[in-house]
Each structure stands twice: as C-alpha cells, then as structure tokens.
Amino acid sequence: MIEFRGVYKKYGNGTEALRDVNIHIDDGEFVFIVGESGAGKSTFLKLIMHEETATAGEVIVNNFRFSKLKRRDIPYLRRTMGIVFQDFRLINTMTVYENVAFAMRVTGATRREIRRRVPYILQLVGLQNHARHYPPELSGGEQQRVGLARALVNNPALIIADEPTGNVDPERARDIVELLTEINRRGATVLMVTHEHSLVRQFSQRTITIKDGTVVSDTQNETPPDGMSPLQPAKQPVMLGGDQL
C-alpha cells in the first residue's frame, strides 16, 4: 500500500519537484505513472524508495510511516520492494543464475532456499535456458527479464519499475509489461513509470499523470457519465502465500 498525504519535495537548489501530492494505491494494484521529462516521476519513486525524503506531508509505504521511520527500519522497508531499472544494472561478470541468486544471498537466504527459488523464478520470466549465460550475451529484452527476476526473487509486495522498457526493442517492451501484468495477477503491487503512450493504451490500467510536480489526472478518479461505476474499480488485494510468486 502506498499513501501520499499532502506531500511536497523541494530540493536543496530550490526546485519544487512535487507539490501537494495526495495518492492512495492499494495492495494488488497495477499503476502506470506518466508525465513529461522533469515532471517529478523519479522524485515520486525516490520518495517511495526512501532515497529522498519529503519536505512536507506524509508518505506511508507497506505499513512503514516515513515520518516515524528509524534508520534501522530502512533495510526492512527496502525488502518489501523489488526495483527494476531502465539500465538493468546487472553484474556482467556473474551468470544470469548468479545475478538472481546474489539478490537472495544479500538478504541472508540459505543455499538450499536459493537452489529452490532461483530456477523457479528464471522459469517464470522465461529464462530457464539462459541460467549459465552472462548478461552481455543476452538481448536487451532478455537482460531486462533478468532484472525482473532479480526484483521478484525475494517475493516483495511491491515492484517498482522505472522506465523498464526504455532500453528494450518495442516488440519486446510488450513482453516486459505482460510479465509485470502476470506478476501483478499473482498478487504484487506494480508501479511502472513510462513515457510510452502506446504501452499505456494497450494495457488499460490505472494511470496517474504528473505534470510540473502535481498529479493532474488519475484514471481511478474518472467517473463515467450517468453515475455508472468507475471504469477501474479498486482491485481486491490478493493474499500471497510464501512462494507463489
């Protein structure tokens, strides 16, 4: 769950990157964040990841209330989220398997848990036949699927994807979003920043538009005429078992 209440972010140089942002995203939702370059999308994500802190207002993510967050809580907060980067950020000297296993090892997972989990996740993203390959031997789309596998392996409640299709061929970009949709269907909340309008149109999901630091539209709040129910009712959260993802 993500909640922003009256959130402002002003950087040290005086730039007001976010102004009075009020957003509620339930567990189990899939949300696109769109907006022009400089609109404030990265700042929005950085506040959620606690890489930056709000100048005013309250941010609550996965039951962590940031105004009350202690330094020692931050690793626990971060474990509730998996991050997918535009530039993949894989370790090129490690195989696909090792890249994903490494993300588990740093959280203290046992060798047995790693041996059980990594092949399962590689299969989920369709990379079971590439486990022994190194990232430079893979296409952009395949590398991003390694990035997705790494984000998923610790079964986080929330997946944050910052322009995940930015370095992927257009025809493979769709595969990435389809995978994110599948991950969402299995219970994870997915937040994806993109400027690719064609993707947003193809996958009709809740879309929040940020412009000049404020939320200018949120498709969840659009009520169709004649008082009919909203186009996209909030989804019921899907409870996940230990390793369904």
Chain residues that interact with ligand ADP, rule: CB under 6 A: 11, 13, 15, 17, 35, 37-43
Cβ distance to ligand ADP smaller for residue 13 or 236: 13
CB of 19 to ligand ADP, least distance (A): 11
Distance separating alpha carbons of residues 100 and 116, to the nearest angstrom: 12
95 vs 167, beta carbon nearer ligand ADP: 167
Whole-number minimum distance, CB 208 to ligand ADP, in Å?
12
Shortest CB 2 distance to ligand ADP, Å = 16
Instruction: Please state the closest distance from residue 184 (CB atom) to ligand ADP, in A.
Output: 22
**Token pair listed for 158:** 């929330």
**CB-side neighbour CA atoms (13 Å) of 197:** 3
CB of 14 to ligand ADP, least distance (A): 8
DSSP state of 7: E
Of 37 and 229, nearer to ligand ADP (C-beta) is 37
Report the residue number, 24 or 211, with the smaller CB distance to ligand ADP: 211
State which residue, 5 or 10, has the beta carbon closest to ligand ADP.
10
Structure token digits, residue 150: 């790494």
Ordered DSSP codes for 131-184: TTS-GGGS-HHHHHHHHHHHHHTT--SEEEEESTTTTS-HHHHHHHHHHHHHHH
How far apart are alpha carbons 85 and 89 in whole angstroms? 7
Residue (86 or 219) nearer to ligand ADP, CB: 86
Q: What is the largest CA-CA distance in the chain?
A: 59
Distance separating alpha carbons of residues 163 and 220, to the nearest angstrom? 21
Distance CA 113, CA 101 (A): 10
> Minimum Å distance from CB 212 to ligand ADP?
9
